[in-house]
Chains A and B, each alone.
Chain A
Amino acid sequence: MLSRLVLRAAPAALRALPPPVAVGVLHTTRPLHTTQRSLAPVPPLPEKGGEVRHGFIPEEFFQFLYPKTGVTGPYMLGTGLLLYFLSKEIYVINHETVAAACILGVFIYGVKRFGPDVAAFADKLNEEKMASALAMKNEAMQALQTAIEEEKKEQWRVEGRKYLFDAKRNNIAMLLETNYRERLMMVYNEVKKRLDYQVAMQTLKRQKEQDHMIQWVEKSVIQSITPQQQKESIAKCILDLKALSKSAQAAV
């Protein structure tokens, strides 16, 4: 229940707050990006590490003592310290000293004898890594280069597309023309068929009428031939035949 009160009071409280500062200001106390260096490209590793003398004393110690004591200063210091430790038995000589001496001897012999070989081996490993990384980089660059070439070629090819489209347009125009002519042909054939039909109908009708009329005329003529006319015509024919036979006999 009290939470509801708080929630109710929140908007009023928010309105009571001063308005927020302009949007452009970052709410940080630490300045950003003030140094020159950025994270990429990563600076290369230094070639050699800090100088170390005799394997375990940094060179800076010798440089530190050089102005006051010269070159032999640190060695004198070392000898003095060693004698002090031994004489006061701060460093105790016991069985562990012998063991330490043997171990150190072997260690130093190992380093002196095998050091350069190990270094060369490590350098070779590093070289291989670098070479493979470089090879990858070169390959990537080469691949991108060939991609650029291909892209240019494709762009050149696109220019030829105009001719392709012209040829296609011609094809289509020809197709349309052929289609149009086929349909014209079809229309012509259909119309011709209908007209032929009409003509055939008319000729048939005319023929039928002719035949019918001829038959009718023949029939009426035959009907009109009386028996007497028939006898007269037969007699006439016989006389004609006799005359003809005579003229034929004469000719032979």
Chain B
Amino acid sequence: LPAAVLLKDTKLMDVKLGQLGSWLAMRDFTPSGILGAVRRGYDRYYNKYINVRKGGIGGISMVLAGYIVLSYVWSYSHIKHDRRRKYH
């Protein structure tokens, strides 16, 4: 029976739903930790979709799609005045 992996070292996809809260609490939220996380995320995305021999449109179009979604979310507060309501 292999030794149980510490909760600290499990990846997000292997964390059970019940453990999610404690796993999230254990993460490093210092500025350097956050910076490191951003750096790691960027490196992962870059090395998977952009830093390849024959990259496709997916590499940048996913970034654009995320940008579109994020900017929609940020501007929802003034877009909601365009809804079809009798009383806004």
Contacts and interface: CB of A to CB of B under 8 A. Distances in A.
A96 B79 CA distance: 10
Interface residues of B, number: 22
Given A50-B48, A89-B84, A92-B83, A56 B58 contact: yes
Contact of A92 (B48, B55, B61, B82): B82
Contacts of A49: 48-50, 52, 54-56, 58-59
Nearest to B62: A56
Contacts of A175: none
A52 interface: yes
Contacts of B57: 52, 55, 111, 115
A8 B65 CA distance: 69
Interface in B41-77: 48-59, 61-62, 64-65, 72
Main secondary structure on A side of the interface with B? loop
A91 B75 CA distance: 11
Interface in A102-123: 111, 115, 119, 123
B12 to A, nearest CB: 13
Contacts of B16: none
A48 B79 contact: no
Nearest to A112: B57
Nearest to B59: A49
A94 to B, nearest CB: 4
Interface residues of A, number: 21
Interface in A216-245: none
Nearest to A91: B72
Contacts of B80: 89, 92
Given A50-B49, A89-B83, A92-B82, A123 B62 contact: no
A45 B53 contact: yes
A47 interface: yes
Q: Which of A45, A50, A92, A96 has the most chain B CB within a 10 Å cutoff?
A: A50
Interface of A: 45-52, 55-56, 58, 89, 91-92, 94, 96, 111, 115, 119, 123, 126
15 contacts: A49-B48, A50-B48, A50-B58, A52-B56, A52-B58, A52-B61, A55-B57, A55-B61, A56-B62, A91-B72, A92-B79, A92-B83, A94-B82, A119-B54, A126-B53
